[in-house]
Amino acid sequence: MQQHMLKIRVLGLALGTGLIASTSGWAGSSTSAPSACARASAASIPARSAKAPGGTAVMAGVEGLRGKERDAVLERQLLAGNIPPFLRDLVPVNFSGQFGGKTVRITICVMPDYLSVGTNRDFVRTPLGLPTAAQVALRLGFLLPTPKMVDAIYAQARIRLSPQPMPAGDEMTSTGYLMRHNETVDAQLGSAAGTPDELIAGQKKDVVMTNRLREFPGKVAIYGWHRGAGDPIQPLSTVHQAVYADYSHGIRLVSAIALVNGQLEPLAEVMQDPTLSTLISREGPIEDAEGLMATVSQ
């Protein structure tokens, strides 16, 4: 058996070289997609303190900061649980394919909107540099999406916004710029802003997981901001330095737990499986996704 062959059961389907069994404490449990996503979201994020500031107050405190300095403040807030409750209700996104004459279905569990700080009524979407985004994701039990996941999220979103780019320039990375764009997105959403179970897409580019992060160390990978199905403004790019983040970037967290034909499994193992990875990644297997995240978080 290949070293990184996924150790899971897939309805008796032999993937690659043979039938393989599940490992890990929770893997192999059978459940529905909604309940799997509820389980994935229940324990991974700290409870929000009643004394935690709202998103507007947090951003006022970093008004003059950019880059790593702003990220450091936001990281502390996010890891302390200052995340709106609606983002904790993860939403299923589904993939399927035929292998060996049998259907394989994979469900990932994603935040309904981009990672934000604050409350349901006062939250701000928080662009982050890759090191901080990866650190927050890992600490909270999540991974970053692949470009193929981003496409599926857009395709399956119940609300799809038209992208609202702002003029390019030095102010793109400023707190004021990201606040203005946050207000624009909220105006587009209206009463749907901060609504549980409403998967929303089209409002940001994604910071993504890709093998290019190994090919181009010290860079961030961004993709998306769809104008329509199969029409992202941003093709996969590793132009910017890892710490770069501007108003258009968003952090869509994906639970580290996935559902494969009714079985809860580590998403990192699905991502490195030679067969299953083709459903969620266009570039083939991504080896040791959690290790990659740990590396780029430094």
Q: Note the pLDDT tens digit of each residue in 75-114.
A: 999 999 999 999 999 999 999 999 999 999 999 999 999 9
| Of residues 282 and 43, more confidently modeled | 282
Cα–Cα distance, 137 to 140 (Å, whole number):
5
pLDDT at 193: 83
Cα–Cα distance, 159 to 97 (Å, whole number):
25
pLDDT at 24 exceeding the cut of 50: no
Cα–Cα distance, 101 to 75 (Å, whole number):
46
Q: If you search the block for the tokens 């259907």, which residue do you land on?
A: 103
Q: Please answer whether residues 37 and 90 qualify as being in contact, where contact means their C-beta atoms are separated by less than 8 angstroms.
A: yes
pLDDT at 196 exceeding the cut of 90: no
User: Among 37-41, 96-100, 177-181, 278-282, where is mean pLDDT lowest?
Assistant: 37-41
pLDDT at 230: 87
Look at strands 257-260 and 102-110 and give their pairing: antiparallel
Q: Note the pLDDT tens digit of each residue in 132-160.
A: 999 999 999 999 999 999 999 999 999 99
Cα–Cα distance, 268 to 175 (Å, whole number):
33
Cα–Cα distance, 245 to 111 (Å, whole number):
20
pLDDT at 276 exceeding the cut of 60: yes
Q: Note the pLDDT tens digit of each residue in 44-71.
A: 899 999 999 999 999 999 999 999 999 9
What's the chain's average pLDDT? 90
31 falls in which pLDDT band (50, 70, 90)? low
Q: 30: closest CA among 39, 41, 20, 19?
A: 39
Q: 89: closest CA among 27, 36, 149?
A: 36
Determine the angle formed by the axes of helices 289-296 and 130-140, rounding to 10 degrees.
Answer: 130
**In degrees rounded to 5, what are phi and psi of residue 15?**
-105, 115
pLDDT at 2 exceeding the cut of 50: no
pLDDT at 16: 38
pLDDT at 36: 74
Domain residue extents for the chain = 33-296
Q: Please answer whether residues 139 and 75 qualify as being in contact, where contact means their C-beta atoms are separated by less than 8 angstroms.
A: no
pLDDT at 228 exceeding the cut of 50: yes
30 falls in which pLDDT band (50, 70, 90)? low
Q: Please answer whether residues 106 and 95 qualify as being in contact, where contact means their C-beta atoms are separated by less than 8 angstroms.
A: yes
- Cross-strand bridge partners of residue 206: 223, 250
As a whole number, mean pLDDT of residues 36-43 equals 69
As a whole number, mean pLDDT of residues 230-245 equals 96
